[in-house]
Structure 1
Amino acid sequence: MLALENISLTLGDQPLFNSIDALINPGERIGLVGPNGAGKSTLLKIIAGQIEPDEGQLKLSKSATVGYLPQDGVDPDPSLTVLEEVKSAFSDLQELREKTRKEQQKLSHLESDSDQYKQTLERMGRLQDRLEQSGAYSLDSDIEKVLMGLGFTKKDFNRSTTEFSGGWLMRIALAKLLLQQPTYLMLDEPTNHLDIESLQWIENFLLSYKGAVIVVSHDKAFLDKITGRTLALDRGNLYDYAGNYSYYVEKHEERMDHLRKAYKNQQREIKELQEFIDKFRYNASKASQVQSRIKQLEKMDKIELDEHEEEITFQFPPPERSGAVVMKLQNISKSYGENQVFDGLDYSVERGDKIAVVGPNGAGKSTMVRILAGLEDYDGGSREPGHNLTTNYFAQHQADELDLSKTVFEIMREAAPNARETRLRTILGCFLFQGDEVFKKVSVLSGGEKSRLALARMLVNSANFMIFDEPTNHLDMQSKQILQQALDQYEGTFIIVSHDRDFLDPIVSKVLEVQPNRVRTFLGNVSYYLEKKREEENETLNTASANNRTGPPHSANGSGSGSTLSRKEERRVEAQKRQEKYNKLKPFKKKIDPLEEKIETLENRKQEIEQEMAEPDFYDDEVQVKEISLEYEKLKAELVETYAEWEKLAMKISEIEEEFE
């Protein structure tokens, strides 16, 4: 069990947390959400023991472990290879292996009937038991599976960590954490450094992860798939929602509707009280009533509404019309040393195309869009821009090129000297630079803030061909939605490298898949592309399975090395197999049926409680809140245990059914 009790923290003069509480049960999948600056990363650091709160305490069972992946700033040992760096997280297992090896060596030099031989054999047996229980025997294969799932190739395993970019170093840190399997796994924006393939892999990994998972992410599709509970930070308070991100959005809006109505009623009441006070302030006969209303106002718990809840939008100015063919690449070849990225690449971008670029990291996505933008040299072939083409390009490294001595607003003014101040401020507001924040020096901005500023600077000028390389990595949900809406209404052509399916799906109509030395186009959005990829994979598996089942051909007259069974004999064999399958499945089916009934009962009660909690007056009765909340937490813990038991039985049933297919 992990419990946060009355956690309070003030940073500078700003209260960040106001006595927040939360109970996190083993096995839960939780999304931690809230606007930028709400304290999501800080809360994870408190749980990880990296920050001490001003008040309150963190309770953690003695056997529990906590693992934390920060957004950035990981620092692997430069003297190690990728494989050595990952294995360094298991130094205790390496020591255990070394001890076992030494005992084995010692045993080989002892007489088998000596007391020393027996004692050494016992010690070695205990060490081997510990190794087996710790998973040391499968460690090498587990490491290989996780690293390859995160996009590394076997050739990468023996490369120095110094050869990899910051994004790949984050993947190495993530691999170490996933393999350590902490009881409470906390991930801060883990999807920023992943491509679509590795993102799908980690989704499946986390869905079957044994411990609890707490995720901070701005990827809605990712949160919806892996989480079943959402903790929302808002102005110092922590709200608990019993569902994924989409459920949270729906219930949060309902809560805000109630809050707006309550705020409106309270403002009307305040106005009436103030009017009475002003009218009869100097009337002696009404003095006691006036004082009563003054005290009523003073004691009133004022409802506050988030001032920047208003909808912020912006639109791209209509771009000039380009030629029908925006860009044409012919027979492009490109290599980095011995690594050949493209050989004879042909690709055309047509006016009005809305293209998502996907594919594994290292396949050449960024190289291709840089060639399209005219920023990357190529070894052979031709690049032909279309008629009347104007291009804008965004990549995260552009944040490093910002002038540190200038303010945020000066950067924007420099990019668009003739633009109106209100337009510049609107665009900055879309990317979380509001009020006096526009006068901050670039030198004091975080990495994420610099990336947002670089994106805002790009969008201030009109172009008819826009190229983006991972534009959403440092955007919160609101900023992503604003950019998405603007691109949806944009009349020009754009191409976007991104793994954010929820962001891409409504705005793209083509998917360009970049694989080593080849590209393919799919006419549809990213969900359509993933569906087609699954169909291709299933077809490949079915073909392979059919080939495996196909035995040597039999002659029509029964001669040769094989002979056919009679129909009667076939039926007897099939019946025998069915009976054998039934006998094997029976004990597991007998156990799983009551478990399914129990799960249904628990889920129904859970749903009843959630409906009660959603009622506006639920929290009026403190005793009821305490009793039902306690029942709710016990219910969720029981569900986790029951599901785990059900999964074991379901897996065994699945294995038996596969055996008889």
Structure 2
Amino acid sequence: MLQLDNLSLHFGERTLFEDLSVTINKGERIGLVGPNGAGKSTLLKIIAGEQKADDGYVKMGNADTVGYLPQDGVEPDPNLTVFKEVEQVFEEILSLKDRQIELQQKMSTLSADSDDHEKALEEFGSIQHQLENADAYSLGADIKRVLKGLGFHEEDFTRPTTEFSGGWLMRIALAKLLLKQPSYLLLDEPTNHLDIESLRWIENFLKNYEGAVILVSHDKAFLNSVTNRTLAFQHGGLKDYAGNYSFYQKKYEEELELLKKRYENQQKEIKQTQEFIDRFRYKASKAKQVQSRIKQLEKMEKIELEDEQSEIAFQFPAPERAGQVVIQLRDLVKKYGDNTVFDGIDYEVERGDKIAVVGPNGAGKSTLIRILAGLEPVTSGKRELGYNVTPGYFAQHQAEELNPKNTALDEMKLAGSRESETRLRTILGCFLFEGDDVFKKVRVLSGGEKSRLALAKMLLNSGNFLIFDEPTNHLDMRSKNILQQALDQFEGTLMIVSHDRDFLDPIVNKTLEIQPGHIKTWLGNISYYLDKKAFDDSVDLEQDNDSGESKKLSRKEERRIEAQKRQALSKKLNPLKKRLGKIENEVETKEVRKDEIEEMMAKPDFYDNSDEVKEISLEYELIKTELAELMHKWEEVAGRIEFVENEYEEQ
């Protein structure tokens, strides 16, 4: 049992948290949530012993251990291979093995009936027993299993750690923690550096973890899948919820509504009491009652509401209309020296496509979208951009292209969008730059802040074919919701590399899977892709187990697959039909007004009043223009519906 007793932490005059107490039991999987800056990462560091609280203490059993994965900054031994680095977590077992080898060598030089041989043999037996209890002889298999689960290939095991990027080094650190199996596993944003396959693997690993897991993440789907308890930072303390993130959200909203009602009732009571005091303050006959009311106000425990963050929405400017085919790749080959990433692939993106790009790290996701964005040359083959297509591209490394001497607001002004300063500050607020944060120089911003600034800047000058490489890595829940809504309403074409299912599912209508050497398109969102792929994999497994003979699907399975396809079709069609209905309502309203004006204009006395003629004529011309635009939109949406329905029929 882990106990946090009356923890308090202050930074100058600012109180991060005060008298924070909570008990954590083994087997619990806890989501630690709250706004940026509330103290989530700091609390993990205090539990891990990497930072001290001002007051209070952390208690746990003598045999209990803590394992902590920070957001960044891990540094493995540069002299070791991946396998050897991970193996270091079993230092005690490795020492026992070394001692066992020493004893074997020693016994080979001693007489079998000597006392020294007897002592060595006794120690050897004791070590053998310890190694068996520790499952030491399965360590190699366990290490390989975890490394493969986190996306490493067999050939990676013998490569030096220096050959890997920061994201892969975080995976090595995560592998060490998972193998060490501490009593309390603390993970700070572990999904940032994982692809979708590794993410699914670690979800299953953590669900079956015997110790306790405390998890900070902005990936709602991951939290919902893994956690069974939520600790939420509120008013400088922790509120406990007996469920996952969605459970917490629902309960919190209910509590907030109830609190608002109690607050309103209390404010009415305070107002009435104060009015009585003010009215009879100087009336001797009411002096006793006035004093009683004053004491009543003084003793009243005031209800406080958290400062509600104002609802901020970001909307892309209406993109220029592109041709039906946005981009084509024909017989594309891409090589880096002797390494062939793609060999003769064909791919086409159509106007209105919103595509999630998934696949294991290293398969070529970033390479492909850089080719599509025109930033990466091809070795051979064709890349043809469609009519009137303007790509917009965002990747994390663009943060390094910001001018360190500029403020965040200066960088936004340089985007050339001609937005007002007020609007620019509002957009920066969407990405966690609030108040005076907009005047921070780029050189003092953290890596995450730079990334958010680069994303905000890119969105101001976006184009009609937007391409994103992991846009949500440094965004909190609120910022992700703002970006998600904007992308969902965007009328152009999208491609997004991401593993965040909750973010992607409402936006995308296709999933492009990139595996080493080939690509495949799935007509549905991420959840549909994962379900369909899991089913296909299980069918493949059944076929393999049946000596390669293809097994015919049962009627039940065929109905299930058909239902999945219909569900995926509905998810794509419903928003399109809703938009079409809205356009049709607007057309009907404007046509009614147009008919009314035409009737007015047909009357003989209409032209007697020149001012009225001018006003009505202007309105008439405006309605005709708006109707033409609405009919154009109607044709586009209706065409998209037909295209989606045809895709469904062809599956």
Instruction: Give the TM-score range, shorter chain.
Output: 0.7 to 0.9
- Label 1:462 to 1:105 Cα distance change in 2 as closer, same or farther (>3 A): closer
**Counterpart residue number, 1:435:** 435
The offset of 1:68, in angstroms, is 0.3
**Counterpart residue number, 2:513:** 513
Rounded Cα–Cα distance in structure 1 between residues aligned with 2:280 and 2:393: 66
| Paired AA for residue 466 in structure 2 | M
Contact 1:327/1:348 (<8 A) preserved: yes
Rounded Cα–Cα distance in structure 2 between residues aligned with 1:291 and 1:68: 57
**Counterpart residue number, 2:158:** 158
**Counterpart residue number, 1:45:** 45
Q: Secondary structure at the match of 2:260?
A: helix
**Counterpart residue number, 2:200:** 200
Tell me if 1:259 matches 2:292: no
Matches within 5 A, 1:500-649: 500-547=500-547
Structure 1, unaligned runs of 5 or more:
551-661
Offset from partner CA, 1:538-597 (integer Å, 9 cap, x none): 1121112111999xxxxxxxxxxxxxxxxxxxxxxxxxxxxxxxxxxxxxxxxxxxxxxx
Rounded Cα–Cα distance in structure 2 between residues aligned with 1:297 and 1:461: 55
Offset from partner CA, 1:311-347 (integer Å, 9 cap, x none): 2222112111011111111122112222211111211
| Paired AA for residue 200 in structure 1 | R
The offset of 1:197, in angstroms, is 0.5
Q: Secondary structure at the match of 1:363?
A: coil
Contact 2:17/2:237 (<8 A) preserved: yes
The offset of 1:285, in angstroms, is 4.3
Tell me if 1:21 matches 2:21: yes
The offset of 1:292, in angstroms, is 3.8
The offset of 1:138, in angstroms, is 1.2
- Label 1:470 to 1:462 Cα distance change in 2 as closer, same or farther (>3 A): closer
The offset of 1:270, in angstroms, is 2.3
| Paired AA for residue 71 in structure 2 | Q
- Label 1:425 to 1:57 Cα distance change in 2 as closer, same or farther (>3 A): same
Rounded Cα–Cα distance in structure 2 between residues aligned with 1:24 and 1:444: 37
The TM-score with structure 1 as length reference comes to: 0.81
Offset from partner CA, 1:429-456 (integer Å, 9 cap, x none): 2111222222222222222121111111
Rounded Cα–Cα distance in structure 1 between residues aligned with 2:232 and 2:184: 18
**Counterpart residue number, 2:110:** 110
Q: Provide the alpha-carbon RMSD of the alignment.
A: 1.7
The offset of 1:93, in angstroms, is 1.9
Q: Secondary structure at the match of 2:414?
A: helix
The offset of 1:537, in angstroms, is 1.2
The offset of 1:208, in angstroms, is 1.5
The offset of 1:192, in angstroms, is 0.5
Rounded Cα–Cα distance in structure 1 between residues aligned with 2:283 and 2:431: 53
**Counterpart residue number, 2:598:** none
**Counterpart residue number, 1:406:** 406
**Worse overlay, 498-507 or 289-298:** 289-298
**Worse overlay, 378-387 or 417-426:** 417-426
The offset of 1:417, in angstroms, is 5.2
- Label 1:514 to 1:548 Cα distance change in 2 as closer, same or farther (>3 A): closer
**Counterpart residue number, 1:386:** 386
**Worse overlay, 434-443 or 395-404:** 434-443
Rounded Cα–Cα distance in structure 2 between residues aligned with 1:386 and 1:280: 79
Offset from partner CA, 1:9-32 (integer Å, 9 cap, x none): 112221111211111111111111
**Worse overlay, 403-412 or 105-114:** 105-114
- Label 1:55 to 1:115 Cα distance change in 2 as closer, same or farther (>3 A): same
Q: Secondary structure at the match of 2:419?
A: coil
Q: Secondary structure at the match of 2:157?
A: helix
Matches within 5 A, 1:232-271: 232-271=232-271
**Counterpart residue number, 2:319:** 319
The offset of 1:288, in angstroms, is 4.4
| Paired AA for residue 437 in structure 1 | D
Q: Identity percentage over the alignment?
A: 65
**Worse overlay, 236-245 or 264-273:** 264-273
The offset of 1:273, in angstroms, is 2.8
Tell me if 1:366 matches 2:378: no
**Counterpart residue number, 2:54:** 54
The offset of 1:3, in angstroms, is 0.5
Q: Secondary structure at the match of 2:224?
A: helix
Contact 2:511/2:526 (<8 A) preserved: yes
Q: Secondary structure at the match of 1:62?
A: coil
Contact 2:417/2:460 (<8 A) preserved: no
**Worse overlay, 83-92 or 499-508:** 83-92
Contact 2:30/2:229 (<8 A) preserved: yes
Rounded Cα–Cα distance in structure 2 between residues aligned with 1:387 and 1:312: 34
Rounded Cα–Cα distance in structure 1 between residues aligned with 2:226 and 2:145: 20
The TM-score with structure 2 as length reference comes to: 0.82
| Paired AA for residue 273 in structure 2 | L
**Counterpart residue number, 2:179:** 179
Contact 1:80/1:161 (<8 A) preserved: yes
The offset of 1:168, in angstroms, is 0.6
**Counterpart residue number, 1:426:** 426
Contact 1:67/1:184 (<8 A) preserved: yes
- Label 1:469 to 1:275 Cα distance change in 2 as closer, same or farther (>3 A): same
**Counterpart residue number, 1:119:** 119
Rounded Cα–Cα distance in structure 2 between residues aligned with 1:329 and 1:58: 58
**Counterpart residue number, 1:494:** 494
- Label 1:301 to 1:482 Cα distance change in 2 as closer, same or farther (>3 A): same
Rounded Cα–Cα distance in structure 2 between residues aligned with 1:186 and 1:462: 38
**Counterpart residue number, 1:563:** none
Contact 1:232/1:238 (<8 A) preserved: yes
The offset of 1:268, in angstroms, is 1.6
**Worse overlay, 111-120 or 195-204:** 111-120
Structure 2, unaligned runs of 5 or more:
551-651
Contact 1:318/1:462 (<8 A) preserved: no
Matches within 5 A, 1:282-361: 282-361=282-361
**Counterpart residue number, 1:225:** 225
Rounded Cα–Cα distance in structure 2 between residues aligned with 1:390 and 1:549: 49
Tell me if 1:7 matches 2:7: yes
| Paired AA for residue 396 in structure 1 | Q
**Counterpart residue number, 1:97:** 97
**Counterpart residue number, 2:209:** 209
The offset of 1:473, in angstroms, is 1.0
- Label 1:432 to 1:308 Cα distance change in 2 as closer, same or farther (>3 A): farther
Rounded Cα–Cα distance in structure 1 between residues aligned with 2:294 and 2:331: 81
Contact 2:417/2:461 (<8 A) preserved: no
The offset of 1:144, in angstroms, is 0.8
**Worse overlay, 198-207 or 83-92:** 83-92
**Counterpart residue number, 1:274:** 274
Rounded Cα–Cα distance in structure 2 between residues aligned with 1:22 and 1:304: 23
The offset of 1:299, in angstroms, is 3.6
Q: Secondary structure at the match of 2:249?
A: helix
Rounded Cα–Cα distance in structure 2 between residues aligned with 1:219 and 1:236: 23
Contact 1:38/1:235 (<8 A) preserved: no
The offset of 1:7, in angstroms, is 1.0
Offset from partner CA, 1:125-149 (integer Å, 9 cap, x none): 1111112222321111111111111
The offset of 1:511, in angstroms, is 0.4
Q: Secondary structure at the match of 1:308?
A: coil
Residues matched between the structures, number: 550
| Paired AA for residue 445 in structure 2 | L
Rounded Cα–Cα distance in structure 1 between residues aligned with 2:549 and 2:211: 39
Contact 1:197/1:360 (<8 A) preserved: yes
Q: Secondary structure at the match of 2:547?
A: helix
Q: Secondary structure at the match of 1:547?
A: coil
**Worse overlay, 416-425 or 344-353:** 416-425
Rounded Cα–Cα distance in structure 2 between residues aligned with 1:422 and 1:358: 37
The offset of 1:283, in angstroms, is 3.9
The offset of 1:474, in angstroms, is 1.0
Rounded Cα–Cα distance in structure 2 between residues aligned with 1:143 and 1:357: 29
| Paired AA for residue 265 in structure 1 | N
Q: Secondary structure at the match of 1:317?
A: coil
The offset of 1:116, in angstroms, is 2.3
Rounded Cα–Cα distance in structure 1 between residues aligned with 2:140 and 2:231: 36
Rounded Cα–Cα distance in structure 2 between residues aligned with 1:272 and 1:430: 40
Rounded Cα–Cα distance in structure 2 between residues aligned with 1:454 and 1:331: 33
| Paired AA for residue 353 in structure 1 | D
Q: Secondary structure at the match of 1:316?
A: coil
Offset from partner CA, 1:32-61 (integer Å, 9 cap, x none): 111111110011111101111111111110
Q: Secondary structure at the match of 2:327?
A: strand
Rounded Cα–Cα distance in structure 2 between residues aligned with 1:12 and 1:136: 49
- Label 1:303 to 1:445 Cα distance change in 2 as closer, same or farther (>3 A): farther
| Paired AA for residue 414 in structure 1 | L
Contact 1:327/1:383 (<8 A) preserved: yes
**Counterpart residue number, 1:465:** 465
